[in-house]
Amino acid sequence: MSDVRGVRATVSGVVTGVGFRQATVERALALGVLGWVRNADDGTVEVHAEGLPDAVDSLVAFLDDGPAAARVRAVDAAPHKVEGHEQFAIRGVPAGVFVVQEHAATARHFDLRLEVDGVMRSWAVPKGPSLDPATKRMAIEVEDHGLAHNDVEGPLGDGAVIVWDRGVYEQGGRVPWPEALQRGHAVFVLHGEKLQGGFALQRTARPAAKPQWLLIKRRDDAARPGSDIAAERPESVKSGRTLDELLADGR
């Protein structure tokens, strides 16, 4: 890792809608460079690259021209900390909505739900999501839910449920969804009120009645080593109430 360096670049000009992101991914993969590329809201393209110096320099040089249809005006590149990316990915590909609901049922847990092909793919996360990349949370795959369930909050059966976090998310990695989930390794970027940045779901080989996964925070600018976001922010993003408050009202 001591030989690896990182660069963050912003490319301006006629660079969106001309295949710039895909061309950058292909060049990065050929060079063995890790990182990501995304279209920014202001019409620029942002690139994070990390790898051996010569390979990173070659990718930055490619950004000066881009694909044939691009008209690059400027490339603003600067050294950046190495974040430990596993592969080069396109960011900014909308995938749908996500929600995390905290649920007191037979056992208290959090449900992570990601919209995939019109349904909410769901995982029960006993200890809740974490923003600490060193913390790997067990996530047990459960049945799909409909999108209407995303707004459910209040008493439910013998327990209760709150909308702990919600927002939209983007696909990540080189493998498209839902194929990434079928293969057992899916990378995604959350834009929630509490959860931000890159995450990965990695299916384990442990035999079980229901598939078991690990939910892992990626090492990026949104990471918070040593934090426990589930304990620090127990309130609902919908009502501001905590699950304990709802349970107390129901007694």
State the catalytic residues: 21, 39
- Please report, as a single letter, which amino acid is at residue 152: V
Query: In this structure, are residues 139 and 87 in contact, taking their beta carbons and an 8 Å threshold?
Result: no
Instruction: Give Cβ neighbours of residue 173 (< 8 Å, ≥ 6 apart).
Output: 87, 89, 180, 185, 186, 187
Tokens representing 72? Answer: 């690059």
In a 10 Å sphere around its CB, with 0-12 CB exposed, 13-18 middle and 19+ buried, how is residue 17 labelled? exposed
Q: What angle do CA 172, 138, 103 make, to 5 degrees?
A: 100
Longest dimension (CA), the chain: 67
Which is nearest to 70 in space by CA: 20, 123, 127? 20
What CA–CA distance (Å, rounded) separates 234 from 216?
20
What CA–CA distance (Å, rounded) separates 88 from 56?
12
Place of tokens 């769901």: 122
Query: In this structure, are residues 50 and 37 in contact, taking their beta carbons and an 8 Å threshold?
Result: no
What CA–CA distance (Å, rounded) separates 51 from 6?
7
